[in-house]
Structure 1
Amino acid sequence: MTTIALVAHDQKKDALVAWAKTHEAALQRHTLYATGTTGGRLQAETNLTITALKSGPLGGDAQLGAMIAEGKLPVLIFFIDPLSAMPHDVDVKSLIRLAILYDTLLAVNEETAAAVIASLPAT
């Protein structure tokens, strides 16, 4: 069982929910975290068990960053909208920087996320 965080910018939340539905069977075998709004959507629209943290701008990104730094979050799936400005850009950059620094499996789009999920052990 692997711990996975699921995060999506506002314009990508629908895509993440659709992706999670497609990969629901695989995701159910893992421990899942999500930032607030994304986690709420996933809980309401899938059968996944999600631990929802604070929303990204209110500290959720920082909570995930701390998990990465502590070695507690080996996989981050973060659907980023490259065409929208982010009011909490500093938090997003910090989370991405920590994921890179600590060699975290990081997927920022559907194809990479699918490859990451497929590569994880099924236990």
Structure 2
Amino acid sequence: MNIALIAHDKKKEDIIRFAKKFHSILSKHQLFATGTTGMRIADEAELKVTRFQSGPLGGDQQIGAKIASEEMHMVVFFRDPLTAQPHEPDISALLRLCDVHQIPVATNQAMAEIMIQALDHEDFDWKGIIEMNR
């Protein structure tokens, strides 16, 4: 499964802890991330990550393109809801694409943990859910 990992600046420490905590699950999948987030996950959580541009420089749009072409299957996006983001339209577009294409998306750690733990259960048929809604 292709999983995108994204985090705003004030949430980067959280996503690193998340990646370390779920290393054994995440290591079984293809990981993608925006710029600095991807570099830090690779370095600090010791996971293989394909990196895109940073979010404000087009990384969110690059992940959105993967979603639109059905090449991304899950998005974990630790957003900072208390800080204005200069690329908010790109973020909104990314989340809209997840909704349009029935891509599971977590925007906080609680939901991300639920999704990753569900992914680890062999009886969780996320593809069947997606196909049922098309």
Fold match by TM threshold 0.5: yes
4+ aligned runs moved over 3 Å, structure 1: none
Q: CA deviation at 1:43?
A: 1.2
**C-alpha distance in 2 between matches for 1:121 and 1:43:** 21
**C-alpha distance in 1 between matches for 2:7 and 2:46:** 18
The question of whether the paired residues in 1 share the 8 Å contact of 2:61 and 2:90 is answered with yes
Residue 94, structure 1, aligned to residue 93, structure 2: yes
Aligned to 1:84: 83
**C-alpha distance in 1 between matches for 2:28 and 2:42:** 16
The question of whether the paired residues in 1 share the 8 Å contact of 2:7 and 2:15 is answered with yes
Aligned to 2:41: 42
The question of whether the paired residues in 2 share the 8 Å contact of 1:26 and 1:122 is answered with no
Give the number of the structure whose alpha-carbon radius of gyration is greater: 2
Q: Percent identity?
A: 43
Q: CA deviation at 1:110?
A: 1.1
Aligned to 2:26: 27
**C-alpha distance in 2 between matches for 1:32 and 1:122:** 19
Aligned to 1:119: 118
- Tell me the number of residue pairs that the alignment of Structure 1 and Structure 2 aligns: 122
Q: Provide the TM-score with structure 2 as the length reference.
A: 0.87
Structure 1 unpaired stretches of 5+ = none
Q: Provide the TM-score with structure 1 as the length reference.
A: 0.95
Q: CA deviation at 1:64?
A: 0.4
Q: CA deviation at 1:46?
A: 1.2
Q: CA deviation at 1:97?
A: 0.8
Q: CA deviation at 1:122?
A: 6.8
Residues 73-119 of structure 1, C-alpha deviations (whole Å, 9 max, x = no match): 01000001100010111111111111111110101111111111112
Higher RCO (CA-CA < 8 Å; seq separation 6+): 1
**C-alpha distance in 2 between matches for 1:79 and 1:8:** 5
